[in-house]
Amino acid sequence: MTEKTIHFSYKEYTSVSELEPADAALLQSAREVTRLAYAPYSHFHVGAAARLTSGAIVKGTNQENASYPVTICAERILLGNAAMQYPGEGIDALAISYNSEGENDHPISPCGMCRQALLEYEGRTDHPIRLILSGQEGRIWVIPAASLLLPFAFTRTELETSTGK
């Protein structure tokens, strides 16, 4: 038996003023775009803003539905926008924030489905996506690559191996 360990490092900042100016602006965009969320059921407004390798900015917000499972998270709306507007381009950084009826002062991290989608996007563009996570205020977590949040992920490599392609 061999015991193995997975670990990763991330950074915590106490306020937006500690970030590089480009990252600070991206986080402010994510905080601000929460106003475009459609969240009449959860009242949990999520905003995401990404900076692509060209410097272009793409955004997304959650889009809910009366049939609850039809809801699409902010992150996956953003990835669809990026894929259509800037095909093939990598994402350097992606900031996620939210505005809810409760406290908005701590980071949230992407749900499991979005982790899978972010991982696929990293793979198809061959570029890590640095995540910047924060509420409307308070501490900020910076994670060097979205794939770190999904160890033992199922990826296209498995399909290529099993089908021999």
Residues that bind ligand THU (CB under 6 A): 39, 42, 44, 46, 62, 64, 71, 73-75, 110-111, 114
Which residue is catalytic, options 3, 75, 137, 158? 75
Q: Which residues contact 147 (CB under 8 A, 6 or more apart)?
A: 118, 119, 122, 128, 153
Determine the straight-line distance between the first and last CA of the chain, rounded to whole angstroms.
Answer: 33
Report, in Å, the least distance between residue 33 CB and ligand THU.
12
- Residue 59 CA to its chain's centroid (Å): 11
Nearer to ligand THU, 51 or 115 (CB): 115
Nearer to ligand THU, 74 or 91 (CB): 74
Report, in Å, the least distance between residue 111 CB and ligand THU.
4
Known active-site residue 75: yes
Nearer to ligand THU, 113 or 159 (CB): 113
> What does the DSSP assignment read for 2-14?
---------EEES
- Tokens 């690559």 belong to residue: 145
Query: Which tokens belong to 110?
Result: 């992407």
Query: Which tokens belong to 74?
Result: 């902010």
Report, in Å, the least distance between residue 6 CB and ligand THU.
22
* Residues with active-site annotation: 75
